[in-house]
Amino acid sequence: MAWRDTLSTVRDDLAKLRAERQRQSEEENVRRQERQQELTRISGSLEVPRLLDDMNDILIRGQGHVETEVSWEISDDDEPDDDEDVDMIDLDEELVEDADYITAILTWEEDGEREIAVDLGWTDQGAYLQVNGVNIRTDREALEDALVQSFREELEL
pLDDT digits (tens, 9 = 90+) for 31-61: 999 999 999 999 999 999 999 999 999 999 9
Instruction: Report the C-alpha gap between 77 and 39 in whole angstroms.
Output: 24
Instruction: Report the C-alpha gap between 16 and 71 in whole angstroms.
Output: 33
For the chain, which residues score pLDDT lower than 50?
80, 82-96
The answer to whether the pTM exceeds 0.75 is no
Mean pLDDT estimate for the chain: 85
Instruction: Report the C-alpha gap between 132 and 87 in whole angstroms.
Output: 13
pLDDT digits (tens, 9 = 90+) for 89-104: 444 444 445 689 999 9
